[in-house]
Amino acid sequence: MTVREYRGISPQLSNSAYIDESAVLVGDIQIGEQSSIWPLVAARGDVNVIRIGERTNVQDGSVLHVTRKSAQNPEGFPLIIGDDVTVGHKCMLHGCTLGSRILVGMGAIIMDGAVVQDDVFIAAGALVAPNKTLESGYLYVGNPAIKKRPLKDSESAFLKQSAINYVELSREYLEDSN
């Protein structure tokens, strides 16, 4: 893995996190317990911060970035990801806030200032527009993403199970590397 400081600030990784050797992490990034960052993920916390909670997985080829602070936007847009979140392959998360127990489908894009509340399923290929809020308990689909329907009980249960599956897989990878 490539872990680089930016202006004297280095990524902070929990001891139980799995970070693939091909991932690139730069700057002010914190990654929580039992979280995992998979092959070819690029995360750049250079002009703002990236915070990733516990048991969250960011899958292959995803890009995580932020928006700088400015006179028009004094706080900029950090990237905040809660606990038990699954970020599918090749997603783009840019200066947004994700709650907990969320599945972001493959190839989805979530833009600056968007807020995804807890317990949300975002379909593959969805585009969440800047400053949009996705309400808890729903499936969102499309470009732009729209509220499709309430989550089924099985889908709500899967949000947590998906995170657990990746915690178990990351443990296997950590065991194999020792």
Evaluate if residue 1 carries a pLDDT over 80. no
pTM above 0.75, yes or no: yes
With CA atoms as reference, report the closest residue to 18 among 42, 39, 37, 43.
37
pLDDT at 38: 98
What are the structural domain ranges in the chain?
2-177
**Under CATH, which architecture does the 2-177 domain have?**
3 Solenoid (2.160)
- What pLDDT sits at residue 54? 98
The pLDDT of residue 177: 81
Q: For strand 109-110 and strand 92-94, is the pairing parallel, antiparallel, or unpaired?
A: parallel
Q: Mean pLDDT over residues 48-70, rounded?
A: 97
Report the C-alpha gap between 175 and 160 in whole angstroms.
Answer: 23
Query: Which pLDDT does position 23 carry in this prediction?
Result: 98
At 107 the pLDDT is 98
Termini Cα distance of the chain? 15
Tell me the pLDDT tens digit for each residue of 78-116: 999 999 999 999 999 999 999 999 999 999 999 999 999
Tens of pLDDT, residues 26-40: 999 999 999 999 999
Residue 5, burial from CB neighbour count under 10 angstroms (0-12, 13-18, 19+): exposed
Predicted local confidence at residue 146, as pLDDT: 98
